[in-house]
Structure formats: C-alpha cells, structure tokens
Amino acid sequence: MQKVFVAQHHAEAYFVDGLLRANGIESEVRGEALFTTIGGSSVIPGASPEVWVLNPAQVSQAAELIRRYSKGEALPESAGPAWQCPNCGEHHESQFATCWQCETAKPGPTSMGS
C-alpha cells in the first residue's frame, strides 16, 4: 500500500480513485472515516481524504495519471461518454469507474481487468 494522492475534498479523492480504477489500478480512498467519527464538525484540519494504491508495482503508473490530471492534460479514459448513476442519478465523466456519491459501479462493460 502506498499513498499517491492527498485530495482537497471527497469528490476529488473519488475522482482520482475512479481514474486509477478505470485504468486497471487497484486503489482506495482513506481518511474519510475521520469525517464521521467526530460529531459536530465537518471540516477537520489535516484530515484530507487520501488515495492509496494497493499494488506497489502500479504506483508509478498511478503517479503518471495523477500528474496528468493535476496538469489538466488529456487522460486515457476521457474519450468515452459521460454516464449517469442508475442508483442516485449523479452525473459522471467517463473516467469514473464508480459513483463517487453512492459507490454504485458504472453500468455496462468496463475497462477493468485485462
């Protein structure tokens, strides 16, 4: 496990997580539990959500994707159509593999695996 990205907020963390997953990289968002364990406050300094890559061999690939994302460069999976979550109705760009809001998987065939 290696941390590859620290997000400003949940949506950004799940965007990066979805981006990595869409490119076959196993990743997960960490740190979000801190937002729910402390009642009464939704903003906790130093508790930004983090994106971790599970497979050390994929860290460099993940870092490259994140570098492109942070510089606004074209992403490999950005050519597909946007999609709408069948569960909550949230709209997503094609690079999301799962709904960032309810974590429902993107409908139809995915590019995961291979």
Complex with Zn ion: residue 85 or 97, whichever CB lies closer: 85
Please give the residue ranges that form the binding site for Zn ion (CB under 5 A). Answer: 85, 87-88, 90, 99, 101-102, 104
Q: How far apart are CA 84 and CA 82, in angstroms?
A: 7
Q: How far is CA 70 from the centre of its chain?
A: 13
Rounded to the nearest whole angstrom, what is the least distance from the CB of residue 110 to Zn ion in the complex? 15
Complex with Zn ion: residue 70 or 104, whichever CB lies closer: 104
Complex with Zn ion: residue 7 or 99, whichever CB lies closer: 99
2 neighbors 21 (Cβ within 8 angstroms): no
Rounded to the nearest whole angstrom, what is the least distance from the CB of residue 51 to Zn ion in the complex? 19
Rounded to the nearest whole angstrom, what is the least distance from the CB of residue 59 to Zn ion in the complex? 28
Rounded to the nearest whole angstrom, what is the least distance from the CB of residue 8 to Zn ion in the complex? 21
Complex with Zn ion: residue 76 or 107, whichever CB lies closer: 107
For residue 90, how many C-alpha atoms fall within 13 Å in the half-sphere facing its CB? 17
Contacts of 25 (CB under 8 A, 6+ apart): 53, 55, 58, 61, 62, 65
